[in-house]
Structure 1
Amino acid sequence: MSESNLKSTLKARQIYAGIIKKKSLIIFPLIALILISIVVNLFVGSADYNFTETIDALLGTTEDEVSMFVIWGLRMPVALSAVVIGAALGMGGCEMQTVLRNPMASPYTLGLSSAASLGAAIAIILKLSIVPGVGTFLITINSFIFSLLAAGMLYLFSKREDADRNTLILFGIVMNFLFSSLTQLLQFVADASDLQSLVFWSFGSLNKIDWIKLLIITIVTILCAFVFSRNIWKLTAMSLSDESAISLGVDVKKTRRNIIFIVALLTATAVSFAGTIGFVGLVAPHIARILCGEEQRYFLTASALIGALLLSVASIVSKSLVPGVIIPIGLVTSLIGIPFFALLILKRKG
């Protein structure tokens, strides 16, 4: 290698090392902001506890059992579930936009949330359970199974020879209309009480998540994140084009099929426990892309962290807007997400 080529190579390596360092440094402030949001979330709520009472309950140095229950039994699961579910939706949106190469894709693009809504409607309105004897988990189990049913239909359709990313999107739209129509039919025959319960569920809420549910969501999220991490270089290649990925030895159809199924599992778990929470899975990857680019090592991590931060902040806002009232978090994410996403679009266009 000539001296000029060697200098060029060294300079390129230095530039690349600088880019990697810059991307890595973005991660730490996001983690710090998430930790701060968790702490703030513990202080905010309908029960009026001052700073000292909250800290004493958090550290277990108080004899007030009510405050201990409020902080550890109610607020802590909500604060942590906001982070975990936000991370799950952020990762789901990241990978959906990658494998479909569609900036408008999200975890709900392919009809998974409408399938979950149908499962919840069957539980709430018809009082029917897909799995007998589930008790208080009736709505959760039904919505989870229907989401997986939609995922299975997608998986089978994606195995067709003529199934590419565009036909997958169209098939997802068809399923979305199908499940939404069936849900509306059930709403038409529902009484006022059941209809109100279904509408409230569809708004999204973290308030019914306890430690057991949080554990289930966390385990599924970690397992799905592990699968994504095992396919990082394939997903980075697929962000370019199918042809580029194939030239690098990636089985594009198989990878897309498997990733969509994992995203479906991730989304089904989040939706079945928390209801429909919009815009987090759509906005978080866009912010991450602006900060880190398309390289999956940083794009996936940043999407998860930004999703966690957005939902954690939304949880705080939902308990702060109206004193003594907890607004459904799905409404808050929509109210925050719509103008924020519009701003992102205008900024990118400019």
Structure 2
Amino acid sequence: MSAAEDYRRRNARRLALVVAGVLVLAFSVALDVSIGPGNLTLADVLNTLIDPQSASPQLSVIVWSLRLPIALMALTVGAMLGLSGAGMQTILANPLADPFTLGISAAATIGASVAIVFGWSVLPGAGPFIVTANAFVFALGASLVLFFMTRLRGVSAETMILVGIALLFTCNAITALLQYHSSEVQLTQIVFWTLGSLARASWIKVAIAAGLVGLALPYFLMRGWALTALRLGDERAESLGVRVDRLRLEILVATSLLAAVSVSFVGSIGFIGLVGPHIARLLVGEDQRFFLPVAAITSATLLSLASSLSKAINPGVIYPIGIITALIGVPFFFSLVMSIRSRAV
């Protein structure tokens, strides 16, 4: 077999994996919509989605107004976190990089906590919007800290990870201080935010998140060749004509925006941006043309399945999605750390 034939066969296999991933994701979304009070079957859900006019008014309201926005919120937020984690791992050359470990999620939690403690969350009409907007501002602020750190001379990828860890602990300490000075009602709201929840999903938020994914993924794919070259090392990438510093800044801005918006919508959800890209890397390798879309698909599928699991553990009770993702992600995180340590030894 010639090298060209082998290359085409590998690409065909990767493309097949992308198609298979889309089908699995579609099934997981339908499953997410079907699980919950009401004992809906997959057939009921599919019929209601395909032909809403044939469904009963009650079934149509359950599927289209209550459950589908939450299921699509899980899909779009998962895709945003997956793209963000994949981009951060590539530009920082660190397998442990994602919005959660870099402190962006914790910064968003501070923003939400400030809005809750100062009473902005109970303002008539604008309360929920102010909490979301404040979380976004603080998350974007943390992203800007990371952004400007990359412009300092001599700052390496390892230093960026240390800065992210410092941000994470600082933000957690500030959040704890706000919790200490909050009332019982406010404390409940803050804890609810820190655990992450899809319950605040709406069609407007789904549209914004889908629009960001629709803009970010083509942009990432346009830079796919340069990102693939960056995986070979800075010197090798520069020898191939890649402007490494500029590329890192561009991708950091894009990934930070995705992370900030996702966290401001659903709260702090950890490990999805870490686990999803690693599964994608195992499936399709480092070719960013396939790695990036598969990272988005696998992360979206993981969060969609986590959403289904949060409703299926105890029928009638919906557990915060952040608890489920932590239960999935922590064992994977430990295995990843141990594998890195074994390779280093």
Q: One fold, TM greater than 0.5?
A: yes
Larger of the two Rg values belongs to structure: 1
SS at match of 1:205: coil
Match of 2:102 among 88, 92, 110: 110
Match of 2:258 among 266, 275, 283: 266
Per-residue deviation, 1:191: 1.4
Match of 1:45 among 36, 51, 61: 36
Query: 2:184 — aligned with what?
Result: 192
- Greater shift, 312-321 or 215-224, is seen at 215-224
Per-residue deviation, 1:12: 1.4
Match of 1:17 among 4, 8, 18: 8
Unpaired runs of 5+ in structure 2?
Answer: none
Q: What per-residue deviation string (whole Å, max 9, x for no partner) do you get for residues 113-163 of structure 1? A: 11101001001112248xx98443121100001111111222222222222
Query: 2:88 — aligned with what?
Result: 96
Separation in structure 2 between the aligned mates of residue 172 and residue 52 of structure 1, nearest angstrom = 46
Separation in structure 1 between the aligned mates of residue 173 and residue 335 of structure 2, nearest angstrom = 32
Query: 2:307 — aligned with what?
Result: 315
Match of 1:225 among 217, 220, 239: 217
Query: 1:141 — aligned with what?
Result: 133
Separation in structure 1 between the aligned mates of residue 315 and residue 207 of structure 2, nearest angstrom = 30
Separation in structure 2 between the aligned mates of residue 172 and residue 345 of structure 1, nearest angstrom = 17
Match of 1:79 among 48, 71, 91: 71
Separation in structure 2 between the aligned mates of residue 117 and residue 165 of structure 1, nearest angstrom = 25
Separation in structure 2 between the aligned mates of residue 271 and residue 57 of structure 1, nearest angstrom = 30
Separation in structure 2 between the aligned mates of residue 55 and residue 111 of structure 1, nearest angstrom = 39
RMSD: 2.3
Match of 1:32 among 23, 35, 39: 23
Match of 1:234 among 226, 238, 244: 226
Query: 1:249 — aligned with what?
Result: 241
SS at match of 1:212: helix
Q: TM-score, normalised by structure 2?
A: 0.91
Query: 1:290 — aligned with what?
Result: 282
Query: 2:149 — aligned with what?
Result: 157
Separation in structure 2 between the aligned mates of residue 36 and residue 344 of structure 1, nearest angstrom = 28
Gap change, CA 1:229 and 1:274, over 3 Å in 2: same
Separation in structure 2 between the aligned mates of residue 21 and residue 27 of structure 1, nearest angstrom = 10
Query: Percent same amino acid among aligned pairs?
Result: 40
Separation in structure 1 between the aligned mates of residue 338 and residue 178 of structure 2, nearest angstrom = 39
What residue identity is the alignment partner of 2:13?
K
Per-residue deviation, 1:82: 1.1
1:46 touches 1:319 (CA, 8 Å); kept in 2? no
- Tell me whether 1:299 sits opposite 2:291 in the alignment: yes
- Tell me whether 1:330 sits opposite 2:322 in the alignment: yes
What residue identity is the alignment partner of 2:22?
I
What residue identity is the alignment partner of 1:26?
L
- Greater shift, 104-113 or 322-331, is seen at 104-113
1:209 touches 1:274 (CA, 8 Å); kept in 2? yes
Per-residue deviation, 1:168: 2.0
Per-residue deviation, 1:310: 0.7
